[in-house]
Structure 1
């Protein structure tokens, strides 16, 4: 029996990341919804202070002045104007910010001639935006414990999120910890973990995919990481591993978030910080890895994270060593789990020595079961009953 699809809807997606350059759950989901849906993808506004912390933010002035930008026939991107800082610290500031953004969003919606849209949000602070855009359905896709972010006031964020959870018609969460924490406040909640662009990352195994040139001549084994280096990535763990194993090459592919200190890693000759690479070429870098690592710091934020890179590693077929995250531990038979540098070192050795075609096939099978296509199908299945009432 053919599953019904979510079709012919106008969707306002309030995202926490810009459409480019780093693709996360938001873009993966929106780009896979049937093309009969029209989507306004709203990028996060920067605050008046943001460019002084991160000069790359100045470009957002330009994208705001551009207005609506068409990504493809049914997806439009919009970068709102600057807002006041400290909205995630003071409720009043957030209310002012959402009130300021409302007419700009209404103008974009009017220009696209949206009718009875679905509001699909990823941000707790949009609790003060709900009800102002003429939406017929509110979806909150909760991908992190936002109250645990550095620089946010937990009480403020939790208060906003509780309000949003109560207003939302459907809540999706990515991890069991989030499900347990948010469920008491929801009308309806569903656990939909993250996933991988399986077809893309399986190109790692394609004989025609070349090894990235920066990796060709590195001493083996190559221990690799792909992703943004945020404050929850344990750079101390990576540095200690590199010091313990000077003959191994450690490669980090991805940009460092503003304020992240990489001094210790930069000082180590066997650590190679390659910066951001286009998503299209990531399989070439994974192809040059012998083992992929998932080195998260263990804290309140990561206790409820569903790591994208973990599923992408599985889809590449490469061995994986990870810290014991609740969302990773169920796969402990397929990947190595370690906490301390000593354990990590040993588990990397184990992964190298025990690698076999059967283990790779098992990882690929799990990856196939965790594709974005499947996740989007699950989401549509949960949404459709609300539109048929």
Structure 2
């Protein structure tokens, strides 16, 4: 580890307080094993201020955004969280590029002013910190201008420019943000190839997964709400969102195979809530579960699946749940995408209803112990430590040059 590096800053898409699994959070924790880390929450926007300040947490966040209260708190050994003392203009829908660019830079300037103040409070030097920007496209444009860190890295884990929120301005600005970075890290070959068009030093560093709680050889107690469901059970565990999951495919699989029980575990957004899936007898919604409960649910499924939509938003993403399924030694079926091919031969890949029917039928056949153990080894090799080691390697090369 270079002595030139005093600390790391992770500029995140997701608030630390949400306490959900996120790559930025995991990377921050891994960095903190060697150096101090400041995890930076996204700035509050005017739209959020007007519509989402009802809970105690939201009110506290608003108070900090207005400059009242402690904006930098220690949350762990070697780890701090900073909530920017600034309110951003909600400019995403502006079509006037000159006005948008002006206000977007004002947002960036306010964000980094708050961050610089936090560094001074911590006694850190801006020219001795390494920044990892977790796909904050618009803020990232101004990292070097207003922070001037030792190194600035961009991290890409989703094809965000295909998301409706990011598409208009993100399509033109992400290439600029990527080009300005000293290096770009991605969690799939597809996204690394995309980034490399704008920055030659773009690498696929893979994906980490917290597989410690997934112990395939431990006998868990079968959850009561799952025990009453007949076998075979074909399950999905995770957020149920129509933006990323193929609802029609699930309906077709359930209709075509009435003896299969489709078990969906996780919180639902509106598209799932309103879907025909709720009217199909062999589809079971078990709701959201604490992460500590998930291994017990997975253990008592016969096949685990990831019925992902194939679109511009999802085609390059790395579904963390695949590692979780494999770590539990479960036969797994997933939608075929470029990013998923790295899991072969441990996963059955499929496209469409017919492809899924065949792949699930094959996955329901007895699994050899050799294949099961190989799948577990594959999943357990995908660690955050391995991802960060690759970041450190690039960092050292850049600091020596």
The two structures have a TM-score, normalised by structure 2, of 0.86
Q: 2:88 aligns with which of 49, 71, 83?
A: 83
Question: Aligned with 2:195: secondary structure?
Answer: helix
Distance 1:58 1:184, change over 3 A: farther
Q: 1:142 aligns with which of 140, 151, 156?
A: 156
Whether the 8 Å CA contact 2:235–2:263 is kept in 1: the answer is yes
**C-alpha displacement of 1:357:** 1.4
Does residue 73 (structure 1) correspond to residue 77 (structure 2)? The answer is yes
Q: 1:266 aligns with which of 259, 274, 278?
A: 278
Whether the 8 Å CA contact 1:94–1:128 is kept in 2: the answer is no
The residue correspondences of 1:91-130 to structure 2 (distance < 5 A) are: 91-92=100-101, 93-115=103-125, 116-122=128-134, 123-130=136-143
Whether the 8 Å CA contact 2:11–2:133 is kept in 1: the answer is yes
Q: 1:250 aligns with which of 258, 262, 265?
A: 262
What are structure 1's unaligned runs of at least 5 residues?
none
Distance 1:185 1:8, change over 3 A: closer
Distance 1:239 1:48, change over 3 A: farther
Name the structure 2 match of 1:166. Answer: 179
Question: Aligned with 1:337: secondary structure?
Answer: strand
2:273, 2:248 → 1: CA distance? 10
Question: Aligned with 2:311: secondary structure?
Answer: coil
Distance 1:372 1:293, change over 3 A: same
**C-alpha displacement of 1:147:** 0.8
**C-alpha displacement of 1:192:** 1.1
Question: Aligned with 1:327: secondary structure?
Answer: helix
Name the structure 2 match of 1:181. Answer: 194
Does residue 12 (structure 1) correspond to residue 9 (structure 2)? The answer is yes
Name the structure 2 match of 1:322. Answer: 334
Name the structure 2 match of 1:213. Answer: 224
- Count, aligned residues: 382
What are structure 2's unaligned runs of at least 5 residues?
65-69
Does residue 357 (structure 1) correspond to residue 369 (structure 2)? The answer is yes
Q: 1:152 aligns with which of 143, 166, 169?
A: 166
2:375, 2:297 → 1: CA distance? 18
Q: 1:192 aligns with which of 202, 205, 219?
A: 205
Distance 1:5 1:342, change over 3 A: farther
**C-alpha displacement of 1:7:** 9.3
**C-alpha displacement of 1:55:** 8.2
**C-alpha displacement of 1:143:** 1.0
Name the structure 1 match of 2:33. Answer: 35
Question: Aligned with 2:42: secondary structure?
Answer: coil
Task: Name which one, 1 or 2, has greater alpha-carbon Rg.
Answer: 2
Distance 1:7 1:357, change over 3 A: farther
Distance 1:88 1:386, change over 3 A: farther
Distance 1:213 1:111, change over 3 A: farther
Whether the 8 Å CA contact 1:41–1:78 is kept in 2: the answer is yes
The RMSD of aligned alpha carbons is 2.7
Offset from partner CA, 1:34-85 (integer Å, 9 cap, x none): 5341111112234333478778888433245362232202111233354332
Name the structure 1 match of 2:23. Answer: 25
1:57, 1:275 → 2: CA distance? 23
The two structures have a TM-score, normalised by structure 1, of 0.88
2:120, 2:286 → 1: CA distance? 43
Name the structure 1 match of 2:303. Answer: 291
Q: 1:374 aligns with which of 370, 386, 392?
A: 386
Name the structure 2 match of 1:49. Answer: 47
1:78, 1:39 → 2: CA distance? 10
**C-alpha displacement of 1:104:** 2.2
